A and B are shown apart, each in its own frame.
Chain A
Amino acid sequence: MSIETGDWIIEACNLSYMYPDGTQALRGVSLKIPKGGKIALLGSNGAGKSTLFLHLNGILRPREGVVRFAGSDLKYDRQTLLELRKNVGIVFQDPDSQLFSASVYQEISFGPLNLGLPEEIVRERVETAMAATGTGEFRQRPTHMLSYGQKKRVCIAGILAMNPSVMVCDEPTAWLDPKNARQIISLFNQIASDGTTVIISTHDVNLAYSWADYVFIMAEGNIMGEGDPESVFRDEILMYKTNLEKPWLVEIHEILLKKGCFPADSSMPRNRDELYQLLRNNNMCRREEMLNDFNNIRDEGRERNNVTLGIKRL
């Protein structure tokens, strides 16, 4: 993705923050969030991701440094904060810490009502958000009778109903099963395609690599690296320093590249399908052989659907 200068929605300059108990959570963090992008913030536990997120929404005030939204410095008065919170929504990791109401409908209506919108518009927004997140089907169930994944979707709907220009999600796929995680990710894709900037934090390098346009890597309260996923995840030293693993696609691509299977200038595959495509384009193996390999994998019962899909497209 090409990012032109000045196209930043949120900027943080040299942020430092220390919790009252003396934990130095941020040590001079600077980052620029491109407008309309899909951003992943990677880092291990305690790297400062959540603390940074709370700064983006004005919940925490940095000891040093500045947060800028759409180019102007954040002032911490009531009006500015309210305006910021209208534009930057946070979905917290634990849905039980976000859902305050037993009613799905009430929960989603809370945010847009705080924006001072008239009732009809709020009702419209609640309906739209419920439709987008698929939460309408359990609108009559109380939140304590919902599953974890359903609660998570209600949390997202609550933020979505505020129509923020930036949506920040703390560990959105943590504790979710693969099916629910996929649904959440495709929901984010949909939100991002409507022009909303989506920022997620995660430990999952594979997810960050496949999903994000731009990646930040955090460790010990600092941004250790950033860039498009292709370049960030090929940086051996950065991966080593931040205790992260390479995404499997990057690893396979590198191995195959070393073996001379692809031309050196071939683009890196961002997902399974792109890898298959690359293999096919470069006549790496004959079709029958590949089918055989795929069948073997399939017989082992791994990734059944994806493999069959891959074969069909070859």
Chain B
Amino acid sequence: MLNIDGFAYTNRLKNVHPTEKAVFALLTLFLCLVFSSFTVSCLTLLLMTVVTVRRAGIPYRAYFRMMAIPFSFLVVGVLTIGITITTQRVEQEWLGSLTAAGVTFGVTSGSIIKAAELAGKSLAAVSCLYFLALTTPVVDLTAAMRKLRIPSLFIELTELTYRFIFVLQETAEDIYLSQSVRWGYSSLKNSYKSLGSLTATLFLRAHHRSGMIFTALTARGYNGQLSVLAPEYRVSTANILMITVVELLLLSVGVIAEVKGI
């Protein structure tokens, strides 16, 4: 299992202001999406990889394993764009083709460029989000969301969901363990039965726990709003300056690439 959550709390950039990190990731993502340029995508990918692995200290093995996850989806998507299938006998500039039973499969230079652009853009976009996910704990993200005046209902839901994923996971693990020590998963039939009762129990527990949480919140004067304070982070002028320079560079590269049509 990839421990994204664990890295978020232990990486070397954990003390950097979450808004700085969010702005950096999202602005880069934005530029990368606006300029559909292969150069910008590659630069973004390189930039994010270096920052995540070198600056934040995420082990490169873990990072590349994470990058491999979208890769498999990407391959399928890119293949469908890269390979042109046609029944028309119109002569195209095939780089290579195969005709069978009146259907032509092949690649053209145009389709290859398009596919490469798409692959680059997707990986670059994913690397931006991974940077954010790996360096910024969810609690910091929601704190930044609060500052950005995102509706509190949305933020509270995010926070509660996040917290209770772990509680639910722990409960599920406990139930699974107690079932398996009693041979609950010894055969396929038993496994089906045990998994069913695990799911049912999990729902009941979740319901019960939500009641208890509500009681505990009420006892502390809950009035319909989960108002909390986040720890304060220091704003770093150096970081802001660096982000500005990097983004401006990326922007100019993008503009030049657009003009020259690379």
Residues of A at under 8 Å CB distance from B? 54, 57, 59, 82, 85-86, 89-90, 92, 94, 96-103, 105-107, 109-111, 113-115, 119, 122-123, 126, 139-145, 158-159, 162
Contacts and interface: CB of A to CB of B under 8 A. Distances in A.
B203 interface: no
Interface string B200-235: 000000000100110111111111001111111000
A285 to B, nearest CB: 51
A45 B159 CA distance: 34
Interface stretch (B86-94, B99-107, B162-170, B188-196): B162-170
B165 to A, nearest CB: 8
B229 A101 contact: no
Contacts of B216: 90, 92, 97-98, 100
Contacts of B35: none
Given A106-B229, A110-B227, A85 B138 contact: no
Interface of B: 5-6, 9, 14, 137-139, 143, 159-160, 162-163, 166-167, 170, 209, 212-213, 215-223, 226-232
Contact of A140 (B14, B170, B218, B226): B14
Given A85-B219, A110-B217, A111-B221, 13 more contacts: A85-B221, A94-B212, A97-B216, A98-B213, A100-B160, A102-B137, A102-B138, A102-B159, A102-B162, A103-B228, A103-B230, A111-B220, A145-B9
A162 B220 contact: yes
A106 B229 CA distance: 5
Main secondary structure of the interface of A (DSSP, over half): helix
Contact of B219 (A89, A113, A143): A89
A144 B232 CA distance: 21
A252 to B, nearest CB: 40
B139 A103 contact: yes
B230 A106 contact: yes
Main secondary structure of the interface of B (DSSP, over half): helix
B9 A110 contact: no
Nearest to B231: A105
A92 B209 CA distance: 12
Contacts of A107: 228
A97 B223 CA distance: 18
B220 A106 contact: no
Nearest 9 pairs between A and B by C-beta?
A144-B166, A114-B221, A103-B139, A106-B228, A97-B212, A109-B229, A98-B216, A111-B220, A113-B227
A52 B197 CA distance: 34
Contacts of A92: 212, 215-216, 219
